[in-house]
Structure 1
Amino acid sequence: MQILTSRITRAVALVAITASLSACGLPRSGPNKKEIFAGSVLEQGDSFVVAVNDRVTAATAITEELGFSSAFQNAGVVGSDTIAAGDVLSLTIWENVDDGLLAGQGANATVLSEVQVDGSGFIFVPYAGRIKAAGNSPEAIRRIITEKLDTQTPDPQVMVTRAAGDGATVTITGQIAGQGVYPIQRPTRRLTAMLAQAGGVAVDPDIAQVKVIRGSKSGTVWFEDLYKNPKYDIPLRDGDRILVEADPRSFTALGATGGQSVINFETRNLSAIEAIAQVGGLQTNSADPTGVFVFRNEPEAIAKQVLGRDDLVGPQRMIYMLDLTQPNGLFLARDFLIRDGDTIYVTEAPFTQWQKTLGAITGATSSVDSLASIGE
């Protein structure tokens, strides 16, 4: 009688455990395929679930192009001796008369040893007035002063030199070997030469970006493009700020992958298969290779092309599905490009959920057996 009671107790417990597991669910890394498809606009959700094929990979293969505008590319080269605000000039003026405008009695030369260029870029020279110095070379300033004095004293001779200051300078910060303020000199009048002067980039060149800020305008270029496209090796201007940084793009990996986290791009163009490899691949004991999903807010134009519709307005929630078990599944994953902000989610295989259920039932049944044996 006790044996029968024990068996009935175990059976009742097994039914109760199974019902409990079915009601509250088992621990898992996220939704399964069925639940993801339930979020489709064809069901009860607001997302478009699209199986990736060659047409989809072509429509979504949008790469981010960086470069400088024509305003940067067409800027003139700054001379190596260009004067800037804050520089100190030394002026020597010779007059071809014994009693000149500037020279003292018995002298025919006047030395103005410390003439500082003010914040507006001007200097003041007696009898010549305010003269624009910033942006000009010493030779240009010499000609301006000579022309202004020539109407007041015969055949003046003027010599202008920089006594102090670096002239035109740029500021370099970020992932660079030598951050600092650098003067624009004859060998460093262009971007690549200035970066070399600062010791080169301190990040993988494959993902390095160079940003140049000039006043209220800015432009960013891939470091490698500076050498592939000479037009991006722009002339530098006084006051330019150069920022070198690693590619700021990232994606999120979730589900049955080797790691669940936010991952930075390691290559300029990152495919789905490369992104999966970056996080350690699929978990061999739990991942479902038929359920690799990429979640993305797709721009209107691309969404229309992917879906073949023209009635969409604004960005659309898209869920791209990759089946790695298909004959061309790995090729499609290799060709499908990941973009900034994407979420890659890998579902668990149905067998994994069955194992969890079986393990939970087996463990719970063992506990019931223990309790039953105590009751005996």
Structure 2
Amino acid sequence: MMRFLIALLIGLGLAACTDGVSEFPVAPSAQDALSEDVVVIQLNAENIRSFRRELAQSAEDAQRLPGSVAWNYRVAPGDILSVLVFNHPELTMPAGPERSAAESGFRVQSDGTFFYPFVGQVQASGLAPEQIRANLMLSLAEYIADPQLEVRVAAFNSQSINITGAVVTPQRLPVTTVPMTLLDAVNAAGGLEPDADPERVTIQRNGRTYNVDLEGFLERGQARNNPMLGSGDVIYIPARAPQEVYILGEVGRPAGIDLDGEELSLTQALARQGGLDELRADARGIFVFRGTNDNMTVFQLSVESPTGFLLGTRFGLEPGDVVYVTRSPRQRWNDTINGLLPTVGAVASTNATVDGL
């Protein structure tokens, strides 16, 4: 922050030269006096597009989420299976009026198997329910002619997805045979909080963090930003931090503006704060200070003609930008003179009194 303020003061000094005369664009000699990490750029029709604010590109990471294309549930230790053999009730564990299918089913043990009558230990871990069914049919065929059976997961206990952050009900969501997308998980958690930032969702998978722009799916229908989720994923929905730009100097209402995800141009920001002060502002000296931890870029725009305001509509502001409108040289001199007049008047009055004695 201190570096930012220093750079800001340096930039403001660029607008004034000796004898109260401003030189625009900023004189090369003034730029030479700056440190190497401060760059001044005059905005014009040729370069304005290169500084247009780009939409978040985090959607590309969503395309690289491993295992997010195909989906087929794989049984794992802890799951409870329900096996129904048609026309052979002795091989089907009855649920009874007070027992659910989960309570009467077959629990997959830590070694990935479960015990089934006649067959013994049946491998289940890592297999889809359809594969377990096919294997059981082959094994039971030694005891039953043409066995017909169904295998279902009665309780999904082995795999889960965690969702936390700015959602109504952060929770653990079980992974089931029904594929779950990012939006499904958000809805299952009660939806987004009012201050949530869906543009900067993160998904942790296999020790790596991926950035996903869920807002890109909600507002622009980009399917890649609503990826398929898998077991072990941890979803974090951040709260939207204030994204302010600051409008200062000779404008109608100097203030901060919260972008709140809005794309705001330089001209829009000036108009929103009452425009330039017609009596005091120097239309040649509109500066935008944009800094990072390592450097500061100062953009200068002249709006002496309507063309300047048109260019300003193509320059998008970013969070943290400081817009400063300088004061005209004439107004600086007027303020100086007006500030001195009371003192000069007082001295003249005192001298006149002394002379009259």
Same fold by TM-score, threshold 0.5 exceeded?
Answer: yes
Task: Tell me by how many angstroms 1:332 deviates.
Answer: 0.5
CA RMSD of aligned residues (A): 4.6
Query: What's 1:234 paired with?
Result: 227
Contact 2:265–2:315 (CA<8 Å) still a contact in 1?
yes
**Cα contact 2:302–2:308 (8 A) shared by 1:** yes
* Match runs of 1:209-220 below 5 Å: 209=199, 211-215=201-205, 216-220=208-212
Structure 2's unaligned 5+ residue stretches are 1-10, 18-24, 94-102
Distance 1:250 1:335, change over 3 A: same
Match of 1:259 among 254, 279, 282: 254
1:64-86: CA deviation from partner (whole Å, max 9, x where unpaired): 3231443338723445x664664
Instruction: State the alpha-carbon separation in 2 of the partners of residues 160 and 357 from structure 1.
Output: 90
Aligned residue in 2 for 1:132? 125
Q: Which structure is larger by alpha-carbon Rg, 1 or 2? A: 1
Structure 1 residues 273 and 222, CA gap change in structure 2 (3 angstroms)? farther
Change (3 A) 1:198 1:273: farther
Q: C-alpha separation between the residues in 1 aligned to 2:29 and 2:236?
A: 43
The alignment's TM-score, normalised by the length of structure 2, stands at 0.65
Tell me, what secondary structure is at the counterpart of 1:329?
Answer: helix
8 Å Cα contact 2:76-2:125 kept in structure 1: no
Match of 2:181 among 190, 196, 202: 190
Secondary structure (helix, strand or coil) at the match of 1:318 reads strand
Count of paired positions: 315
TM-score (norm 1): 0.62
The change in CA–CA distance for 1:274 and 1:121 in structure 2 (over 3 A counts) is farther
In 2, the alpha carbon distance for the partners of 1:91 and 1:180 equals: 30
Q: Quick one: structure 1 residues 49 and 76, their matched pair in 2 at CA, closer, same or farther if it must change by over 3 Å?
A: closer
Pair 117,355 (structure 1): closer, same or farther in 2 beyond 3 Å = farther
Cα distance in 2 between the residues matched to 1:51 and 1:328: 14
Conserved? CA contact 1:84–1:117, under 8 Å: yes
1:54-133 to 2 correspondence within 5 Å?
54-61=45-52, 63-64=54-55, 65-68=57-60, 69-72=62-65, 75-79=68-72, 83=75, 86-90=78-82, 109=91, 111=93, 113=104, 116=107, 122-125=112-115, 127-128=120-121, 131-133=124-126
**SS of alignment partner, residue 189 of structure 1:** coil
Evaluate the alpha carbon distance shift between residue 212 and residue 146 of structure 1 in structure 2; reply closer, same or farther with a 3 A threshold.
farther
- Label 1:326 to 1:73 Cα distance change in 2 as closer, same or farther (>3 A): farther
State the partner residue of 1:43: 32
Change (3 A) 1:109 1:225: closer
The equivalent of 1:333 in structure 2 is 312
Moved more, 366-375 or 289-298: 366-375
CA distance in 2 between partners of 1:278 and 1:186 (Å): 52
- Distance in 2, matches of 1:54 and 1:62, equals 16
Are the aligned partners of 2:76 and 2:108 in contact in 1 as well (CA < 8 Å)? yes
Query: What percentage of aligned pairs have identical amino acids?
Result: 22
Q: What does 1:272-283 correspond to in 2, within 5 Å?
A: 272-277=266-271, 281-283=275-277
Aligned residue for 1:362, secondary structure, equals: helix
List per-residue Cα deviations over 1:336-363 (Å, max 9, x = no partner). Answer: 1223443322223334433442343234
Q: Quick one: which amino acid aligns to residue 67 of structure 1?
A: A
